[in-house]
Amino acid sequence: MITLLDYGAGNVRSVINAIERLGETVRVCGSTDDILNAERLVFPGVGAFGRMMEILQEKNFVDPLKTYLQSGRPFLGICLGMQALFEESEEAFGVPGLGIFKGTVKRFVTDLAVPHIGWNGIRMRQSSRIFNGMQGDEKFYFVHSYHIEPAEDDVVLTTTDYGYEFASAVQRGQIIGTQYHPEKSGEAGLRLLRNFMDASASSTAPIRIDGPTRLAKRIIACLDVRANDRGDLVVTKGDQYDVRESGEVRNLGKPVELARRYYEEGADEITFLNITGFRDFPLEDMPMIEVLKQTSRHVFVPLTIGGGIRHYTDKDGRSYSALEVADAYFRSGADKISIGSDAVTVVERYLSDGRATGKSAIEEISRVYGRQAVVISIDPRRVYVDHPDQVPQQVIETRLPGPQGERYCWYECTIRGGREGRPVDAITLAQVCEKLGAGEILLNCIDRDGTNSGFDLELIDAVKQAVTIPVIASSGAGCAEHFLEVFTRTGAESALAAGIFHRREVPIDAVKSHLKDKVEIRP
């Protein structure tokens, strides 16, 4: 039996699913006695340091946790659950941590995109049972803006490079903490968890890997989901967002089955977009929540869900905030949520008022779950102009002139699945969303969607240059070479595709084989 400390923020479902998958039972800790009586305690942390410590105080969990940590019984802290073991964090000045390890938690200071999101390697410094059976070149899933800085070198279990070398795991006796998420790190992560649970196993000596660890470019499989005309939830796919063929919604498979297939084929991440979320209310559209629950039982890489995340009033007059909708998704197994139409509305309001309200979906969700959990999905289309001064939007010079030979264009954001254009451009939208607390940009392109003609490199480059958060390139992938192109000609951290994977035209491993030795990938 594993006791799991859930303080109420973030996706503990994935950790429960991963432990149960390994044949263990999980008791979610509800009282101080549960902590004190635990045989093995796992503390997965998501969200923000200050809020986490506040909740631990409110629930009177701090002293029992310290008692448990001094008892010599096995403890695994994941991400924020590891950071909590330190004395304090730059994320919340003046808020004391548990102080089990000397040292602090610092924000990344690097020119690279922050948060550090994705699959990176580890360099082992100590013997540990959690590495039994590993080769040393495994990659694990990271998602964080802050990292620990231990004052005592001998507690460092692994280090990782991201701009510079930082401590990515600690160990002292039976206390282990990892910055990476084993529950989201595929087979390597499941092995780590299995090793942790076998507290009697002997330790493996560190395996030395030369050179710095490298963050992999991520390959993401995207599933656009909606009900077809018979009411079945299907994975569909549009051509420039038109998902109907001969009047019928295209049906390319069942969401849970396809997600499982992509996980097994090596997808680094899976995204579900509820494409009719703009008109349906997701909390009434329970099948989508069910899809997420079922998928997270079998898929141990990060899951993003988008569609319908906004404030909503139901037919009985009850109001739901975007945060409540997001809560439901996180509780069902999502690691990140993606906001589309509502982000455009929020940015338009910001631009007209010239200030943030603190109450938008982006701000509220990132405050509670951390900015790494908030993705902005942008659905832009090109608008050509003869001259940059013709429009107030941010314009780029294009190598692909318009129908009248226009040499400039701007990218018009759309809402409601591309049905309505708005006067805000994609570059400005990305910049304002970053300012409001978004952690990642999912950059679609209506002109390229479903065309197999390659990513819009000019759009991706322009947005990537304008923000410091990671960018997911999306729309238009038609062959493996397109992925190489987007990774070598733009700074995009990941690339997403749908049609070629659904139609089995280019499998995920063919993309990875093509990239191997040219671009860092997760094997």
> Footprint of ligand 1PR on this chain (CB under 6 A)?
222, 224, 237-238, 241, 243, 273, 275, 277-278, 306-309, 338-342, 377, 379, 417-418, 444, 449-450, 474-477, 497-499
Q: What is the nearest approach in angstroms of ligand 1PR to the Cβ of residue 139?
A: 24
With respect to ligand 1PR, which residue has the nearer C-beta, 163 or 287?
A: 287
Q: What Cα–Cα distance (Å) separates residue 455 from each residue in 283, 298, 468, 481? A: 33, 30, 20, 11
CA distance 273 to 487: 24
Q: Which residues are catalytic?
A: 79, 181, 183, 224, 379
374 - beta bridge partners?
337
Residue whose CB is less far from ligand 1PR, 75 or 329: 329
Which residues fall within 8 angstroms of residue 359, CB to CB, at 6 or more apart?
none
Q: Which two tokens stand for residue 453?
A: 């003609």
- The token duo for 320 is 């739901």
Structure tokens at 282: 């997701």
3-state secondary structure string, 403-421? CCCCCEEEEEEEECCCCEE
| Both structure tokens of 234 | 């299907």
Smallest distance from the beta carbon of 147 to ligand 1PR, in angstroms? 30
Q: Cis (ω within 30 of 0) for the bond into 115?
A: yes
CB of 107 to ligand 1PR, least distance (A): 29
For ligand 1PR, the closer CB: 82 or 446: 446
Q: Least distance in Å: CB of 40 to ligand 1PR?
A: 40
- Do β-strands 75-79 and 175-178 pair in parallel, antiparallel, or remain unpaired? parallel
Distance of alpha carbon 212 from alpha carbon 122, whole angstroms: 9
Write the DSSP string, 177-244: EESSBGGGSHHHHHHHHHHHH-TTSPPBPPPP--S---PPPEEEEEEEEEE-TTS-EEEE--BTTB-E
Q: Which class for 114: exposed (0-12), middle (13-18), buried (19 or more C-beta within 10 A)?
A: buried
Among 463, 428, 423, CA closest to 445: 463
As measured in angstroms, the least distance from the Cβ of 206 to ligand 1PR is 41
Rounded Cα gap, residues 349 and 25, in angstroms = 48
Find the shortest distance in angstroms from Cβ 449 to ligand 1PR.
4
Alpha helices in 390-498 (DSSP H): 426-436, 457-466, 480-489
Minimum distance from CB of 278 to ligand 1PR (Å)?
Answer: 4
Instruction: Compare residues 91 and 447 and give the one whose CB is closer to ligand 1PR.
Output: 447
CB of 391 to ligand 1PR, least distance (A): 24
278/338 Cα distance (integer angstroms): 13
Q: Which is nearer to ligand 1PR, 120 or 377 (CB)?
A: 377
Nearer to ligand 1PR, 339 or 409 (CB): 339
Q: What's CA 492's distance to the chain center, in Å?
A: 15
The answer to whether the CB of 366 falls within 8 A of the CB of 328 is: no
197 vs 275, beta carbon nearer ligand 1PR: 275
Is the Cβ of residue 379 or residue 440 nearer to ligand 1PR in the bound state? 379
* Number of helical H runs and strand E runs in the chain: 16, 30
**Contact yes or no for 372/117 (Cβ under 8 A):** yes
Nearer to ligand 1PR, 189 or 277 (CB): 277
* Cα(65)–Cα(419) distance, integer angstroms: 52
Query: Quick check: 1 and 41 in contact, CB under 8 A?
Result: no
CA distance 410 to 486: 20
385's tokens: 């102009």
